[in-house]
Amino acid sequence: MAVVNLFYISLLLILPPLFLLFLLSLIVRPRPVQIPIKKRHVFITGGSSGIGLALAHQAASEGAHVSILSRSIDKLEEAKNAIKLSTGIDVAIFAADVRDFEAVQRAVDEAGPIDVLIVNQGVFVAQELEEQKLDEVRFIIDVNLMGSFNMIKAALPGMKRSRKDRGPGSISLMSSQAGQVGIYGYTAYSASKFGLRGLAEALQQELIGDNIHVSLVFPPDTETPGLVEENKRKPQLTSIIASSSGAMKADEVAKKALEGIKSGSFIIPCNSEGILLSIATAGLSPQRSYLMAFVEVVAAGILRIAALCFQWNWYGSIEKWHKQKNCGVSRQSNLFFSIPLFCDAPCLNVMDKSSGTWKLLVRETGRHFSDVSWNACQGLRSC
């Protein structure tokens, strides 16, 4: 009797997940697809440096016919020579600003029909919206979002032409983990990257009948020349919150991105945090893998709790920072700041702009900390 009961209990435990897997295998859309790279035309924007250059290297090494587009002809020539040196393959180069539709259209017409389009260009400046100039906000949105519209609109007619004879096509958009969750100081950047998701979801429905498949890549901070510049202006709170996800190398991101593109994945995370973010923010986005859909369904509740814990931690950091700020940190002039005695912090950490490292100042017996040159400092925090 005990054995029979155990059998029924086991059956009850096993049958629901099996039924869910069977159901998901029937309903996930679009259907799985493989997108070859070898001997096909891969066109990459922002291809002269960073992730774009790494993607060009990888695609060329896998036998693709690669074209790269960027604003600077000098950087494009350098990229072309570097790819030739490492792979022995010549790539086509096109100088154009993605904000200029006519220039982009001329480049696409000259390049010829595209099989795999990787819309990778992007600019980023982290700053609170109150402090950021609207011209800078417009620049970020024009490059990241409108530039993507320009590139796709220019490439679509050629990508659709004779698609049945040429095999499946792909359009990949380089988003960011800041396009999955908003972060302090990322108002303009996150808006531009969240916009790519709406573009991608709607575009996939429009193009599925043409055998063109859309992907969204969500890299974390990536070690590129752009990241170095970005860190010079990044608010202290942005650094604190964003530090929970470590930086990746451009080659690592390119490898993950290309693997996802070839498998036709709609959402392509690049690290473990990215996988969790992708599951937590899956929502109504397409899913080709019924196994991944199963994970999304089962893990949804648990990851919502985890997400709330992250938000608790982030808002705790923000509250602590504002408390410190209101504790008496005051700029006395363009060059000096000090902290009054009533602030209970026994010491102060000061970030040196030139080295990017925190330096410790211990409170003196008098009323203030020793004055420190503000021009040499990027941020403050109590120790």
Residues 48 and 78 sit within 8 Å (Cβ to Cβ): yes
Exposure string (b/e) for 183-193, b if CB count within 10 Å is 16 or more? bbbbbbbbbbb
Burial class of residue 220, CB neighbours in 10 A (0-12, 13-18, 19+): buried
Residues 6+ apart with CB under 8 A from 204: 30, 213, 214, 266, 286
Give catalytic residues, as residue numbers. 175, 189, 193
198 is written with which tokens?
């709406």
